[in-house]
Amino acid sequence: MTASLLLRNVRPYAGKAVDLLIENGKITQVGASLAAPAGIAVEDGKGEIVIPGLVEAHTHLDKSLLGLPWYTNEVGPRLLDKIDNERMNKKRLDIDPARQSARQSILSSLKGTTHIRSHVDVDTEHGMWGVEGVMKTRDAYRDIVDIELVAFPQSGLLRRPGTLELMDQAMKAGCEIVGGLDPCTIDRDPKGHLDAVFALCQRYGKPLDIHLHEPGEVGAFSLDLIIERTRALGMAGKVTVSHAFCLGTPDPALIDPLIDQLAEFDIAIMTTAPASRPAPPVKKLLQAGVRVCSGSDGIRDTWSPYGNADMLERAMFVGLRNNFRRDDEVRLALDVCTTEGAKVMEIEGYGLDVGCVADLVLLPTESIAEAVANRPPQRRVIKRGKIVARDGVSIRTAP
Ligand SMILES: [Zn+2]
């Protein structure tokens, strides 16, 4: 599944033009006018920018409606309305996790994403349907994208008896990460919920990535409990908190001590840079030493009609939400969607250096900030040394 390629005339992060020699999927030389080994494929980079593959660190591959008839959303305003609506209509709407995750994975790949972390629903209505479907896609499309699965108790963990056992089954089946969800407002049992998900992490030696939509003081309370358990169980570096809207509370006395502890216990934050909710302050977190990643979250599903799997667009949202205007700030937004995401997902050999895996994107713009601002559809995407998409066309076809 690896390939060799001599990539001529590309500009790493918009710097000086170089050639990249890729052998067996890895970058083996970077330099000017490299000699082409006999028989190697040569690609003219045309002076375009090259960056490492985009990292989609939070999505839901199992629930997209891509390729299905338009879904008229008449769902109620509460989180629970969306949760219950989806669970009750998934089969009726024919949201087959295997097919839908394949469609979204191809879309992500052709836009330049080379790594995806997908939360996958585990509930008593559908059991392992989602996990099995996304695992099928993970295996079948390994040539274009790497996918890791988070076992995700979308409908709640303790409020629906039987879910915890299914979560255990999902971890046994090979999910890489334990998920969780709003311990106060969904399960209404913060101690019970967090003790249960952390116990699963301990049992399987896996990280945690927990959805925390809870706002303000409630969210801060849950976050504090998460920090407490991360410290007590020695799980520094192994916990991600997704959304963390509470960190967008404009009250330094509430959030500054939390940010200090996130840095101390190396707890990562995932933000979609939402337009309509309080959002974690990206620059402040990065400056404090907190890893920050981003993701599309759900893409065109029963929750919302939005999303196109473009992580360059997501970088723009991160920039807009955080008032990033300077080129160096826009670069930070891109870092959140590339290198920072790679740190959160603990991707080995990520980057543009010799020895790194050749997961790359070529962009026909002058600067990084221009790439984020313009989001050109002309992109070449390379996975383990092989060109897997050109100008919006993937080498794989969607089911
Ligand atoms: Zn999510």
Query: How far does the centroid of ligand 1 lie from the alpha carbon of residue 209, in Å?
Result: 10
Query: How far does the centroid of ligand 1 lie from the alpha carbon of residue 23, in Å?
Result: 36
Query: How far does the centroid of ligand 1 lie from the alpha carbon of residue 182, in Å?
Result: 11
Query: How far does the centroid of ligand 1 lie from the alpha carbon of residue 179, in Å?
Result: 10
Query: How far does the centroid of ligand 1 lie from the alpha carbon of residue 12, in Å?
Result: 32
Could you give the C-alpha distances from 68 to 50, 63, 138, 366, in angstroms and in order?
34, 11, 21, 37
Give the Cβ contact number of residue 38 at 10 Å: 5
Query: How far does the centroid of ligand 1 lie from the alpha carbon of residue 248, in Å?
Result: 17
Mean pLDDT confidence for 380-389: 98
Could you give the C-alpha distances from 307 to 41, 296, 338, in angstroms and in order?
35, 7, 18
Query: How far does the centroid of ligand 1 lie from the alpha carbon of residue 211, in Å?
Result: 6
> What are the φ/ψ torsions at residue 387 (nearest 5 degrees)?
-75, 115
What's the distance, CA 135 to chain centroid?
16
pLDDT in tens, 209-242: 999 999 999 999 999 999 999 999 999 999 999 9
pLDDT in tens, 110-164: 999 999 999 999 999 999 999 999 999 999 999 999 999 999 999 999 999 999 9
Give the Cβ contact number of residue 257 at 10 Å: 13
DSSP state of 224: H
Query: How far does the centroid of ligand 1 lie from the alpha carbon of residue 118, in Å?
Result: 8
Query: How far does the centroid of ligand 1 lie from the alpha carbon of residue 385, in Å?
Result: 31
Q: Determine the pLDDT at residue 1.
A: 78
Q: Determine the pLDDT at residue 109.
A: 98
Beta bridge partners of 394: 389
Query: How far does the centroid of ligand 1 lie from the alpha carbon of residue 263, in Å?
Result: 23
Mean pLDDT confidence for 315-341: 98
Q: Burial level of 100, CB count in 10 A (0-12/13-18/19+)?
A: buried
Q: Determine the pLDDT at residue 339.
A: 98
Task: Kindly report the average pLDDT of the chain as a whole number.
Answer: 97
Query: How far does the centroid of ligand 1 lie from the alpha carbon of residue 151, in Å?
Result: 12
DSSP state of 297: B
Query: How far does the centroid of ligand 1 lie from the alpha carbon of residue 233, in Å?
Result: 25
Query: How far does the centroid of ligand 1 lie from the alpha carbon of residue 257, in Å?
Result: 26
Q: Whole-prediction pTM value? A: 0.98
Residue percentage of the chain with pLDDT more than 70: 100
What angle (nearest 5°) sits at the alpha carbon of residue 357, between those of residues 351 and 393?
95
Query: How far does the centroid of ligand 1 lie from the alpha carbon of residue 47, in Å?
Result: 37
Q: Determine the pLDDT at residue 357.
A: 98
Q: Determine the pLDDT at residue 62.
A: 98
Q: Determine the pLDDT at residue 124.
A: 96
Contact yes or no for 155/82 (Cβ under 8 A): no
Give the Cβ contact number of residue 137 at 10 Å: 27
Query: How far does the centroid of ligand 1 lie from the alpha carbon of residue 19, in Å?
Result: 39
Query: How far does the centroid of ligand 1 lie from the alpha carbon of residue 271, in Å?
Result: 10
CA pair distance 84, 88, nearest whole angstrom? 6
Reported confidence tier of residue 342, pLDDT bands at 50, 70, 90: very high
* pLDDT > 90? residue 365: yes
Residues whose CB is less than 8 angstroms from the CB of residue 50 and which lie 6 or more positions away in sequence, other chains included? 7, 10, 11, 12, 13, 20, 352, 360, 361, 362, 363
Pairing between β-strand 380-383 and β-strand 360-363 as defined by DSSP bridges? antiparallel
Q: Burial level of 77, CB count in 10 A (0-12/13-18/19+)?
A: exposed
Which residue has 């990535």 as its token pair?
Answer: 209
Reported confidence tier of residue 188, pLDDT bands at 50, 70, 90: very high
Query: How far does the centroid of ligand 1 lie from the alpha carbon of residue 328, in Å?
Result: 29
Cα dihedral 217, 187, 304, 369 sign: positive
Reported confidence tier of residue 305, pLDDT bands at 50, 70, 90: very high
Query: How far does the centroid of ligand 1 lie from the alpha carbon of residue 272, in Å?
Result: 9
